[in-house]
Amino acid sequence: MNEGEVVLTPEQIQTLRGYASRGDTYGGWRYLANLGDRYADDAAAIVGKDANLNGLNLWMKKGVENLWDDTVGKKTRLEKFDRVALQHFRQYARLINQNNGRLPNTRACPQFNLA
């Protein structure tokens, strides 16, 4: 393990699986963020509720919403964003499990399939 590298224990992986199986995208990302996963911290901001966010986190969320609206339309975002976000979280959690608790690198995330 490299200095500063976040590696989840088997118990933490099991907890993460629980978030994924319950469909708790926000809770799962927050759990990982609290363990030191910076990517998860950003992801939690993007899927979080506006009332729970401020500053940069709210700005990131609104930026992603605007990108979706400009690309696929607001109606599609409202219908599909949560499902896509959950699939992304589940794939991320699956990669952590496959990597024996190690977080995915930045090259792995763009390879995720779309919902």
> Residues 97-114: pLDDT tens digits?
999 999 987 665 555 554
The reported pTM is: 0.85
Report which of residues 96 and 2 the model is more confident about: 96
CA dist 85 → 41, 48, 63, 79 (Å): 14, 11, 15, 12
pLDDT over 90 (residue 21): yes
Q: Which of 38-42, 46-50, 51-55, 97-101 has the lowest mean pLDDT?
A: 51-55
